[in-house]
Structure 1
Amino acid sequence: MKKALVIIDFINDIVDLNGKIPSCAQQVIENNTIENANRSILWAQSQHIPCIYIKVGFHNNYLDLPLHSPMFGKAQSINALNLNDWGTQFHQNLLIRKDDIVITKPRVNPFHNTQLDSVLSANKITDIYFCGVSTTWAIQSAARDAHDRDYRVHIIADACTAATEEEHNISLTTLSRIATIHQSTDVK
């Protein structure tokens, strides 16, 4: 068994109250989600488990933006998720080292048109631990895809959040059918 920790979308536009689309910011603050993610990151680092950081974003000209998408279609008009701006930088409180790998995704799913699966395969990863935002979208999408790629899936519940506590809990209940649910204090 070889593990990886995948940390998804803790970027300013989404998790900072000053972000352009701060859909999870309030829940991140109320639930200490970044602190719990940092606890998970420190656990991974202490076990020599690779940490893979994922962020959603689009090029400055937005040519890679799916204009028809209800989720992303208006990003250009409000200059959100622009890879050249503060909004796609990881939150200042998130632990990240210069040598950690960062993968940019152009959609909800971190496997879609990215090198994530190649990185995991190259490192012979069997078990993926996910944390990040939002539980409803990116975490669910990642976990479902990872499951179907035959990885063993783990969700660090208190290191994830969604727009509401209800959405978060419903997502965890759904994901418990394909993933092992952990707290940041008990990951192994």
Structure 2
Amino acid sequence: MTNTAFIGLDYIVDITHPDGKIAHAARQVAERDVIGAANRALHFARSRNWLTVLAKVGFAKGYVDQPRHSPLFGRAHEIGALGLNAPGTAFHPGLDQQLADLVIVKPRISAFYGTGLDAALRARCVQRLVVAGVSSAWAVQGTVRDAHDRDYQVFVLEDGCAAASEPHHSASMELLGVIAKVIRVDDLAGLQ
């Protein structure tokens, strides 16, 4: 049996909830029931004794680690978004976050950049990742590409992902299908 981990990305208020400060994908998250899919995946992963990881983007007090030149993150400090220990970096209230074995705080798009994720996965001899999150176009693509290049077998949980628009989501799934297998929550039971 292959050691597997479920990784849920950026299911935080600022990104996924209508009250979030940069929640461009909140409508798609709600319409696609992405939080419900993430919860089903977390419960399934627990039933299989997979490592469960929730990763969230956030910046330290005073935004000292914020890349101010970044078109994506550069204005976060101006609008008070993504500050660690602020309401916006709390997990979505509907997420069963207590099912996470590990919470990773990431300072950039990929869950591998500047974090202990890879070390935690290797400590558990994980070979296969099931990745989901918001946004499909950013965190999911960034993390899946990084995981692929680190020689993990990667599955993308399509119904656990959303982007700012359905076309962005669909294009992301199509692109990721070249380096990962795109599946749905109902397909998890088929993973051996």
Q: 2:29 is aligned with what amino acid?
A: V
Go from structure 1 to structure 2 and tell me whether the alpha carbon gap of 1:130 and 1:78 turns closer, same or farther (over 3 Å shift).
same
**Post-superposition CA distance 1:81-109 (Å, at most 9, x none):** 01021100000110121762101000001
Three-state SS of the structure 1 residue aligned to 2:41 is: helix
Could you tell me whether the CA contact under 8 Å between 1:55 and 1:103 is conserved in 2?
A: yes
Q: 1:181 is aligned with what amino acid?
A: V
Instruction: Tell me which residue corresponds to 2:155.
Output: 154
Instruction: Tell me which residue corresponds to 2:186.
Output: 185
Higher helix fraction (1 or 2): 2
1:27-176 → structure 2 map (5 Å cutoff): 27-97=28-98, 100-176=101-177
- Distance in 2, matches of 1:12 and 1:91, equals 5
Deviation at residue 60 of structure 1 after TM alignment: 1.8
Q: 1:149 is aligned with what amino acid?
A: R
Could you tell me whether the CA contact under 8 Å between 2:104 and 2:116 is conserved in 1?
A: yes
Deviation at residue 56 of structure 1 after TM alignment: 0.1
Three-state SS of the structure 2 residue aligned to 1:153 is: strand
4+ aligned runs moved over 2 Å, structure 1: none
Q: TM-score, normalised to structure 1's length?
A: 0.98
Instruction: Name the stretch that deviates more: 15-24 or 99-108.
Output: 99-108
Deviation at residue 37 of structure 1 after TM alignment: 0.9
Say what the alpha-carbon RMSD is for the aligned residues. Answer: 0.9
Deviation at residue 25 of structure 1 after TM alignment: 0.4
- Distance in 1, matches of 2:39 and 2:163, equals 18
Q: 2:95 is aligned with what amino acid?
A: L
Number of aligned positions between the proteins: 188
- Distance in 2, matches of 1:134 and 1:165, equals 11
Gaps of 5+ in 1: none
**Post-superposition CA distance 1:51-95 (Å, at most 9, x none):** 011000001210000000000000000110010211000001101
Q: 1:25 is aligned with what amino acid?
A: A
Could you tell me whether the CA contact under 8 Å between 1:133 and 1:160 is conserved in 2?
A: yes
Go from structure 1 to structure 2 and tell me whether the alpha carbon gap of 1:35 and 1:18 turns closer, same or farther (over 3 Å shift).
same
Gaps of 5+ in 2: none
- Distance in 2, matches of 1:58 and 1:3, equals 29
Go from structure 1 to structure 2 and tell me whether the alpha carbon gap of 1:84 and 1:42 turns closer, same or farther (over 3 Å shift).
same
Could you tell me whether the CA contact under 8 Å between 1:39 and 1:185 is conserved in 2?
A: no
